[in-house]
Amino acid sequence: MKIIVAIKQVPERDARIRIDSAGKWIALDEIEFRMNESDAYALEEALLLKEAQGGEVVVLSAGPERVGQTIREALAKGADRGIHIASDRLGEYDALGVARLMAAAIADEQADLILTGLQSDDLGLGQTGVILAELLGIPHSSLILKIEKTEVGIRVLRELEDGWFQHIEMTTPALLTIQSGNTRLRYATLMGIKKARSKDLRVIEADALGVDAARCVSLDSVMLPSRQKTTQMLTGTPAEAAAALVEKLQQEVRVL
């Protein structure tokens, strides 16, 4: 099975969020980047399938030069090769534009399966994978926890709301968006890191893909959310704050 995994590099989870001077995005200096959480699970699923069925895992990422590190990390974990769609202006594309870049970059790959994360931890659109499926003319399923190969295609486990699940059977080629948390993520071994250095990483300039960057939607500004409730902040040392809270729980909330 040939599997393509789309991985996005995003600011690290606990990164301090500061708005940039233009008010259009967060300030990226002093920020550490990592692989998007659900994409790490998508990669893990792909590697497990490859180990069970044989085949090839190709990782695909769009972004500036630093994205190369995240691709190398995936290669170190066991992916076979990487495709980097290089652009310093990816923010100028909307989700359809990014998906078009990805579709163009993998047009000749003939993959059996394309995996993406469920949603990115920065933009949180939850859309790029599904859009890509439509562009490629292949079926998709989202919020997937498990993938099994069948005679005619695949059988996947999809998460529904409120603790419900569902199996879905589908033919391949197909695209799946993977939900976090269903497996343990592997670490890259020293051997893996060494091997990754010699693996093929193809860099394609976004501008060379002939994709129109005209947007359908545009993000105009970002801001810190305002509070809906007036939270009473209890301050002081931990002991003082704890004592103040206990008093509130006794007097105002009346649960003690």
Partner 1 sequence: MSTVLVFLEAKSGEPTRISLEALAAGAQIAAATGAALAAAMVGAATGAGFGMLGAAEQVFAIEDPLLAAYTADGFTASYAQLIAQVKPEFVVLPHTYQVRDFAPRLATRLGRVLISDVTGIAMDAGKVTLTRQLFQGKLNGQYHAVVGSPTLLSVQAGAFRAEAAAATQASVTTFTPNLDAASIRTKPGEPFRAAAQTVDLASAPLLVSVGRGIKDEANLPLVKELAEALGAELAASRPICDAGWLPMERQVGSSGQTVAPKLYLAVGISGAIQHLVGMKGSQCVVAINKDENAPIFEIADYGIVGDLFEVVPALTAAVRKAKG
Ligand X SMILES: Nc1ncnc2c1ncn2[C@@H]1O[C@H](COP(=O)(O)O)[C@@H](O)[C@H]1O
Ligand Y SMILES: Cc1cc2nc3c(=O)[nH]c(=O)nc-3n(C[C@H](O)[C@H](O)[C@H](O)COP(=O)(O)OP(=O)(O)OC[C@H]3O[C@@H](n4cnc5c(N)ncnc54)[C@H](O)[C@@H]3O)c2cc1C
**Rule CB under 6 A: which residues touch ligand X?**
6-8, 36, 38-39, 60-63, 90, 95, 98, 116-117, 119-120, 123-129
Instruction: Answer with the entry of partner 1, ligand X, ligand Y, none that 117 interacts with (C-beta below 5 to 8 A by kind).
Output: ligand X
By CB under 6 A, is residue 118 in contact with ligand Y? yes
**Whose Cβ is closer to ligand Y: residue 48's or residue 145's?**
145
Beta strand residue intervals within 39-124, DSSP E: 56-63, 81-86, 113-117
CB of 119: closest distance to ligand Y in angstroms?
5
Q: Is 116 in the site for partner 1 (CB under 8 A)?
A: no
Does residue 119 bind ligand Y (CB under 6 A)?
A: yes
Pick the closer one to ligand X by CB: 208 or 242.
208
Tokens representing 30? 């002093």
For partner 1, which residue of 30, 108, 161, 212 counts as binding (CB under 8 A)?
A: 161
Q: Measured from the CB of residue 126, what is the shortest distance to ligand X in angstroms?
A: 5
User: Which residues inside 196-255 make contact with ligand Y, applying CB under 6 A?
Assistant: none
Size of the site for ligand Y (CB under 6 A): 4
Q: Could you tell me if 35 and 73 are in contact, meaning their C-beta atoms sit under 8 angstroms apart? A: yes
Told to check if 9 binds partner 1 by CB under 8 A, we report no
Q: What angle do CA 105, 122, 132 make, to 5 degrees?
A: 30
Contact 114, 149 (CB under 8 A): no
Residues 23-82 close enough to bind partner 1 by CB under 8 A: 26
Measured CA to CA, the distance from residue 116 to residue 111 in angstroms comes to: 13
Residues 256 and 246: their CA atoms lie apart, in Å, by: 8
Contact 4, 112 (CB under 8 A): no
Q: Are residues 99 and 140 in contact, defined by beta-carbon separation less than 8 angstroms? A: no
Minimum distance from residue 41 beta carbon to partner 1 (Å): 10
Residue with tokens 């960057």: 213
Neighbours of 216 (CB within 10 A): 8
Residues at the interface with ligand Y (CB under 6 A):
13, 118-119, 143
